Amino acid sequence: MDQGVDWRRNKAGFLAVLTPPLGWLLLFFIVPMAVVWAYSFGTNEGIADIRISGTFANYARAIEPLYLGILAKSLAFAALATLVCLVVGFPVALAISFAPANLKTWLLIGVMLPFWTNLLIRTYALIALLRDEGIINNALGFAFGWAGFEPLRMMNTNFAVLVGLVYVHLPFMVLPLYAALDRLDRSLLEASLDLGAGHIRTIFAIVLPLAAPGIASGLLLTFIPVLGSYLAPDLLGGADSQMIANVIERQFKRANDWPFGAALAFMLMYLTFIGIALQSLARRKRERE
Amino acid sequence: MAELEGAAHWKGLSQSRLSRRGLLASLGVAAVGFTLQACGQGSGGKGGGAGDKINFYTWDTYIGETTLADFEAANGIKVQTSYFATNDELFAKLKAGNPGYDVIVPSNEFVTRMRLADMLEPLDMAKLPNFKNIAPEFKEADYDAPPPRHSVPYTWLVIGIGYRKSRVNGTPDSWKWLFDSDLYKGRIALTSEAADLIRLGAKYLGKSLNNVDADTAKAVEDMLIRQKPNIKAFHEDNGQDMLLAGDVDLVLETNGDIAQIAVEDPDIGFVVPKEGSLLNADTLCIPKGAPRPEQAHKFINFLLDAEAGKHIIETILYPTPNAAAKLLMPESYRANPIIFPGGQGMDASEWGKFEGPEQARAFEEAITRVRAA
């Protein structure tokens, strides 16, 4: 018994440990998702009833040019926000991984701290910063008012949505990057510097390739929630900041068209599955090489 | 001077500008039934007298500060309150069977919808003598026809244009300034309620806001697509906040929401455009399967009382259909041109009819097209 617990011999113990999380997953994730998935093949009947009729009409409507266009725009916008997260998050993760051990803990807490505040509150804080007569514009006006300063138009633009999405999702990028960079073999960096490569070259030739799996999971971990965001476009966006998640939200609320909302939501799910499958294929290919 | 202005903005920011519909909705609060279930179980008995309680399902911040305590003191019936954020939430909750609510507060179009779905009890008007306090123009209601009545009005609202007086030319008393003009380019916020946009657009085009046909809806859609470059945002029922903070100078909002910010900023005005607008009411109803209809009638009758009505209005500052309560209010409320707008626009305004889920979906898709354009 010294070599630990073998699940083949100790099935009861293994089951006891595994059942609660599996049950939880089944009851509160798989079952609700299955219900929504079933709705996506449903038909609205009368004022408030949905019949699961097996129709593909909701999907047919979801791939009309109108909704595909919104989806394409959302994908592009989410990709941009994810890219900004990477560019901003990489130096942060690098700095944390090279920080002294006691400071590291505090820096990591600093990265995670915003999660302790409700998303809505954080978004309203951004509104207070960005609006025409908000904190940034008032401060600039105070400093440059003598030069005829005009308030910057930041609120209710796609720029504000981008700021909101990057601000909220940055930790999703920084944490996996940090995990990858922290495991990096430092002797490789020293070797690179010893052999005459500069710091920049070392980062691009040594650090980036070694951190690639971390970057990939950071990109995926950021991109998916960004694509599903609706609060930032709703509250920070302007007249044309609509993203696919806003359209989905409205199907479940105002339009009261749950089957169509479910079909749109599962379009995103299918895309997500494809994304994850592609990533694991790429990883397998890497491992084989 | 700059400092004073800064302080005013801070005041605006620190005070919550979210309306009753906005706050809960955006926090995504859905699971509000827990207190109800926990508290409802002890009182299974249907007997009257002391120790009774009823379950009241309503909007947040939508009753007087002491109203429920006053009712309990007068009748010995405790009122257990839970909140919903949208009519859809209320409807969805009751659709699956009434979990024990005695009194609910749906808006007028949902009274029609819930009557159609057989979800409301007819009211026993003999038990509601205070209905006499309701102003004559609210005693008859198309949304609650044919008799018997299934609802009594609690508050009413009209949609109009809230504006910053110092930043517009005269009174912007036409929908044109929101829908069909670049005069106020980049300083306009419209609502994201699709049905309101299409209906008010139809009103601007000289049509009724009810039974909007496909051609009219298309014309409104095209007009809004043309107007889109001039629109700063489609607000999430926080238009009054944007107006107060100076983000926009004209906003499509309800008179109740604008009245609340006009108290703080005298530069805020409100007008019901001359083409006419959309009237809404929130009502008191007893849902089918209410466990304690007797006590529910007592409670509704109490809310229709003049003195109780006055306390409610003092807190929520909404327009009231209760004429007796209005008489008890000070001049500053009764003669408030925002809370009780008059004139051509009001005369041309209509109540919205419930026109079925198909219509709602068609409107929603039209506005999705506008926003994707």
Quote the strand ranges of chain A, DSSP E: 42-45, 49-52
CB–CB contact A131 B193 (8 Å): no
The domain made up of B2-156+280-334 is a member of CATH 3.40.190.10: yes
CB–CB contact B91 A48 (8 Å): yes
- Using a CB-CB cut-off of 8 Å, the residues of chain B touching A66 are 365, 368-369, 372
- Using a CB-CB cut-off of 8 Å, the residues of chain B touching A250 are 192, 194, 364, 368
Check whether A175 has a pLDDT greater than 80.
yes
β partners of residue B239? none
Residue A4 is predicted with a pLDDT of 60
A32-39, Cβ contacts within 8 angstroms, sequence gap of 24 or more: A36/A262, A36/A265, A36/A266, A37/A262, A37/A266, A39/A258, A39/A259, A39/A261, A39/A262
Q: Tell me what the mean pLDDT of segment B256-265 comes to.
A: 89
The closest CB to that of B194, out of A73, A235, A254, belongs to A254
Q: What percent of chain A has pLDDT over 70?
A: 97
pTM: 0.82
CB–CB contact B365 A141 (8 Å): no
CB–CB contact A133 B92 (8 Å): no
* H-helix or E-strand spanning residue B78: strand B77-83
Numbered residues of chain A with Cβ closer than 8 Å to any chain B Cβ: 44, 46-48, 66, 69-70, 73, 118, 120, 128, 131-134, 138, 141-142, 145, 153, 155-156, 231, 234-235, 237-240, 242, 247, 250-251, 253-257, 260
CB–CB contact B368 A118 (8 Å): no
Residue pLDDT, tens place only, B39-87: 433 333 344 444 588 999 998 888 999 999 999 999 999 999 999 877 8
Check whether A5 has a pLDDT greater than 80.
no
User: What's the mean pLDDT when you consider all of chain A?
Assistant: 90
Residue B97 is predicted with a pLDDT of 86
Distance, in Å, from the CA atom of B18 to the CA atom of B239, rounded to the nearest integer, reads 9
- Which domains are seen in chain A, by residue range? 65-288 (1.10.3720.10)
Check whether B322 has a pLDDT greater than 80.
yes
Residue B17 is predicted with a pLDDT of 38
Check whether B164 has a pLDDT greater than 60.
yes
Q: What percent of chain B has pLDDT over 70?
A: 86
CB–CB contact A48 B2 (8 Å): no
Check whether B326 has a pLDDT greater than 90.
yes
Residue pLDDT, tens place only, B117-156: 899 999 999 999 999 999 998 998 889 989 899 999 999 9
CB–CB contact B113 A138 (8 Å): no
Contacts of B280 (CB under 8 A, 6+ apart): B107, B108, B109, B156, B157, B158, B159, B254, B351, B352
**A103-107, A281-285, B219-223: the lowest-pLDDT one:** A281-285
Residues of chain B with CATH 3.40.190.10: 2-156+280-334, 157-279+340-372
Tokens read off for A167: 């601000």
Q: Is B364 in the A-facing interface, judged by CB distances under 8 Å?
A: yes
Q: Is B316 in the A-facing interface, judged by CB distances under 8 Å?
A: no
Which CATH superfamily includes the segment(s) B157-279+340-372? Periplasmic binding protein-like II (3.40.190.10)
Residue B2 — pLDDT band, cuts 50, 70, 90? Answer: very low
Residues B289, B104: contact at Cβ < 8 Å?
Answer: no
Check whether A258 has a pLDDT greater than 60.
yes
